[in-house]
């Protein structure tokens, strides 16, 4: 086993810890709100200096900070600098009346939520007009200082409560980030038409791959902590001046402004690098990756909806890319719609009996005798025809369907083997298990139940796994492999030589079979690098008492070479293609076919 460097534990219990790290684009005006309302900053606008002085005295006596102005125009010019918490505004000063001033202030971005108390006469029309232009409340002349102080305090309390409610409605409570509603509002505000050309703007949409599996396996509490940790990393990765939001589940969005395409690509690279680093939570070392789709304004969309839709289309392309990030291209939208339709169809595939198993023979190299069959799942889609596992198995893992599909494959393969055994054919069957399936704590019990249900022995079944299982040797998957081995199931490493496994692991892990990847066979010759690799794997495997199967054998020359190199079993189109159960029986288990298959 290899040793690990000490990794920092993720401090994920404090969702508020993110607040201090929020970027400029995420910050709200709440930071200017006083902790104690009696210390709030009030701006009095009145043309009568004696009334201003009386109001100032009353307010300052109660702890308020007070500024004065004698007219509406002076307020409009000073408001951004003064930044009061409340405006006490005379309705009928000279020059510009208070109603016009209030309406103009409401048009300023920084004054949209500023509480305004209008000073009016006892005139219903003035009061109605005050509310019509955006006043929060009113007081009637002649002014009584105690009444004004009470009204100021009540208006500030109401305004704070309203802001808090709006904050809750627009903020993701788990991470403290803006939610989808707030992000779309901010994005659309940035895209609002102006006289000047808009600066370059990019929207990045990302999902955490394998989050659902972590959430289902380790529990929702740990899943929530993982989301908080990932959101903190994301905020740090994008740098200042950006807006980061959680749109829901494991989906996040980033808005970048005044950026070039190379800068956007660099930010996306940083995000994927940071989020791919391991997370240490409750002693678990967790690996997730981000897939990022990028849409740029205005080439990829003129409004918020189009940019988000196109970024999502690019994100689906990124999931199939080794770089895990992609810029939007026009052809992607149709591909994304097709992906969503396929995802919807996959949810119904099991209940509509659309999944089928095909089988490929595995032949003993020395004798040509069939010793096993590999069960390979296919999707008989009603519109698209037969779909291979490379297309829909990653999708099944993404949407959480790999468990039900894997259970169906296991049962169907055991049922078919039972039928062939009852007909007198001595075989074993190989079934592929994904890394996600092997994290299931009940997988050994499920396998044992299937074997018992169909009257099979444990060594009738071969479980094939990919080398990616060894990526985390301390995961539940390794424990489950040992449990399966103790049950008596044979274990095979599929596509050996192309993934993560170290040859030194083999003496510690419960493996029975190595399946050498077809990439070493394609250009195989008697001498050369591929031949040396195959001979080396065969030699080591045999010293460890492991059986060796070679995949992808398509020619007689390849078959003869791997047999001479000592391989035990061969598999590939030369020996037989994948066939449905009926076609397989017709091809190999009629008398003529059986004789033909061993010559």
Digit-coded pLDDT (tens) for 300-323:
888 899 999 999 989 988 887 778
pLDDT at 436: 80
pLDDT at 467: 66
The pLDDT-based confidence of 551 (bands split at 50, 70, 90) is: very high
Q: How far is CA 535 from the centre of its chain?
A: 42
CA distance 438 to 456: 21
State how far the alpha carbon of 430 is from the alpha carbons of 151, 462, 498, in Å: 79, 4, 20
State how far the alpha carbon of 228 is from the alpha carbons of 18, 126, 207, 224, 360, in Å: 8, 50, 14, 6, 46
Give the CATH number of domain 29-170. Answer: 3.40.50.2300
pLDDT at 131 over 60: yes
pLDDT at 357 over 90: yes
What is the biggest distance separating any 2 CA atoms in the chain, rounded to whole angstroms? 115
How confident is the model over 359-369, as a mean pLDDT?
94
pLDDT at 19: 36
CA distance 206 to 252: 5
Greatest mean pLDDT range, 6-15, 65-74, 114-123, 267-276: 267-276
Tokens of 527: 């001498």
pLDDT tens per residue, range 227-272: 999 999 999 999 888 999 999 899 999 999 888 888 999 999 999 9
pLDDT at 594 over 60: no
pTM score > 0.95 for this model?
no
pLDDT at 509 over 50: yes
pLDDT at 596 over 70: no
pLDDT at 546: 92
How confident is the model over 388-395, as a mean pLDDT?
84
* CATH architecture of residue range(s) 352-597: Alpha-Beta Barrel (3.20)
Tokens of 7: 């990794």
Cα 42–170–308 angle (5° rounding)?
A: 130
Greatest mean pLDDT range, 98-107, 355-364, 505-514: 355-364
pLDDT at 96: 66
pLDDT at 234: 95
pLDDT at 496: 80
The pLDDT-based confidence of 415 (bands split at 50, 70, 90) is: very high
Work out whether the CA dihedral 374, 378, 380, 386 comes out positive or negative. Answer: negative
pLDDT at 105: 83
pLDDT at 569 over 90: yes
pLDDT at 549: 95
Task: Indicate the range of 31-45, 227-241, 406-420 predicted with least confidence.
Answer: 31-45
pLDDT at 27 over 50: no
Same fold yes or no, 15-22+176-328 and 352-597: no
pLDDT at 204 over 90: yes
pLDDT at 446: 94
How confident is the model over 404-410, as a mean pLDDT?
94
Task: Indicate the range of 47-61, 99-113, 263-277 predicted with least confidence.
Answer: 99-113
pLDDT at 469: 65
Residue with tokens 């791919």: 276
CA distance 505 to 469: 12
pLDDT tens per residue, range 433-491: 987 888 888 999 999 999 999 999 999 999 998 766 655 555 678 889 999 999 999 99
User: Would you kindly state where each structural domain of the chain is located, as residue ranges?
Assistant: 15-22+176-328, 29-170, 352-597
pLDDT tens per residue, range 136-183: 888 888 888 889 999 999 989 888 888 777 777 788 889 999 999 889
Tokens of 91: 């309705």
Q: Please count the residues of the chain.
A: 599
Cα 97–101–104 angle (5° rounding)?
A: 145
CA distance 493 to 506: 10
pLDDT at 492: 94
Residues 6 or more apart in contact with residue 450 via CB below 8 angstroms? 410, 411, 414
Q: To which CATH superfamily is domain 15-22+176-328 assigned? A: Reverse transcriptase/Diguanylate cyclase domain (3.30.70.270)
pLDDT at 23 over 70: no
E strands, 181-328, in order: 201-209, 243-248, 251-257, 279-281, 284-286, 289-297, 325-327
The pLDDT-based confidence of 518 (bands split at 50, 70, 90) is: confident
Could you tell me if 561 and 343 are in contact, meaning their C-beta atoms sit under 8 angstroms apart? Answer: no
pLDDT at 104 over 50: yes
pLDDT at 474: 55
pLDDT at 505: 64
Q: Residue 347, by phi and psi: left (phi above 0), alpha (psi -120 to 50) or beta?
A: alpha
Residues 6 or more apart in contact with residue 447 via CB below 8 angstroms? 410, 461, 463, 484, 487, 489
pLDDT at 316: 84
Pick the closest to residue 15 from 219, 229, 164 (CA basis): 229
The residues with which 377 forms a beta bridge, in sequence order, are: 357
How confident is the model over 283-287, as a mean pLDDT?
83
Task: Indicate the range of 204-208, 369-373, 433-437, 562-566 predicted with least confidence.
Answer: 433-437
């Amino acid at each position: 086993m290899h040793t690990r460097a000490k990794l920092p534990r993720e401090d994920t219990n404090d969702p508020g810890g993110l607040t201090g790290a929020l970027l400029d684009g995420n910050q709200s005006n709440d930071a200017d709100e006083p902790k104690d309302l009696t210390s709030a900053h009030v701006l009095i606008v009145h043309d009568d200096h004696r009334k201003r002085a009386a109001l100032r005295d009353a307010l300052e006596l109660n702890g308020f900070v007070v500024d004065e102005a004698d007219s509406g125009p002076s307020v409009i010019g000073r408001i951004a600098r003064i930044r009061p918490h409340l405006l006490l505004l005379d309705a009928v000063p000279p020059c510009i009346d208070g109603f016009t001033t209030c309406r103009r202030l409401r048009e300023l971005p920084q004054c949209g939520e500023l509480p305004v108390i209008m000073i009016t006469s006892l005139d219903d029309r003035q009061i109605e007009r005050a509310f019509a232009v955006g006043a929060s409340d009113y007081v009637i002349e002649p002014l009584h200082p105690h009444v004004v102080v009470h009204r100021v305090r009540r208006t500030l309390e109401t305004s704070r409560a309203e802001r808090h409610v709006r904050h809750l409605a627009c903020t993701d409570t788990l991470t403290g980030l803006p939610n989808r509603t707030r992000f779309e509002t901010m994005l659309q505000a940035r895209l609002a038409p102006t006289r000047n050309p808009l600066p370059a703007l990019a929207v990045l949409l990302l999902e955490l791959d394998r989050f659902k599996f972590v959430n289902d396996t380790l529990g929702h509490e740990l899943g929530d902590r993982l989301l908080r940790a990932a959101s903190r990393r994301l905020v740090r990765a994008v740098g200042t001046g950006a807006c980061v939001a959680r749109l829901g589940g494991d989906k996040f969005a980033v808005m970048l402004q005044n950026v070039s395409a190379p800068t956007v690509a660099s930010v996306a690279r940083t995000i994927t690098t940071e989020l791919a680093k391991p997370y240490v939570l409750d002693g678990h070392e967790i690996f997730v990756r981000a897939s990022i789709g990028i849409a740029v304004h205005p080439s990829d969309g003129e409004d918020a909806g189009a940019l988000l839709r196109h970024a999502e289309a690019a994100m689906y392309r990124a999931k199939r890319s080794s770089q895990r990030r992609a810029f939007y291209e026009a052809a992607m939208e149709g591909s994304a719609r097709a992906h969503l339709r396929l995802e919807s169809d996959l949810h119904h595939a099991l209940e509509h009996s659309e999944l089928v198993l095909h089988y490929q023979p595995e032949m003993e190299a020395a004798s040509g005798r069939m010793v096993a069959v590999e069960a390979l799942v296919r999707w008989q889609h009603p519109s698209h025809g037969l779909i291979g596992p490379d297309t829909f198995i990653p999708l099944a893992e993404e949407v959480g369907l790999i468990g039900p599909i894997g259970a169906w494959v296991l049962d169907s393969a055991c049922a078919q083997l039972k039928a062939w055994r009852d007909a007198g054919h001595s075989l074993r069957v190989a079934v592929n298990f994904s890394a996600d399936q092997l994290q299931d704590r009940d997988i050994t019990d499920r396998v044992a139940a299937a074997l018992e249900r169909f009257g099979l022995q444990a060594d009738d079944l071969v479980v094939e796994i990919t080398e990616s299982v060894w990526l985390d040797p301390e995961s539940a998957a390794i424990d489950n492999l040992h449990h399966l081995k103790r049950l008596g199931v044979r274990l095979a490493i599929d596509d050996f030589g192309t993934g993560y496994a170290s040859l030194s692991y083999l003496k510690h892990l419960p493996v029975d079979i190595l399946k050498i990847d077809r990439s070493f066979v394609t250009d195989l010759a008697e001498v050369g690098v591929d031949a040396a690799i195959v001979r080396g794997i065969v030699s080591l495997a045999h010293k460890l008492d492991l059986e060796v199967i070679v995949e992808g054998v398509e020619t007689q020359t390849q078959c003869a070479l791997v047999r001479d190199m000592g391989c035990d079993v061969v598999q590939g189109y030369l020996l037989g293609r994948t066939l449905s159960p009926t076609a397989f029986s017709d091809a190999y288990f009629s008398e003529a076919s059986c004789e033909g298959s061993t010559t």
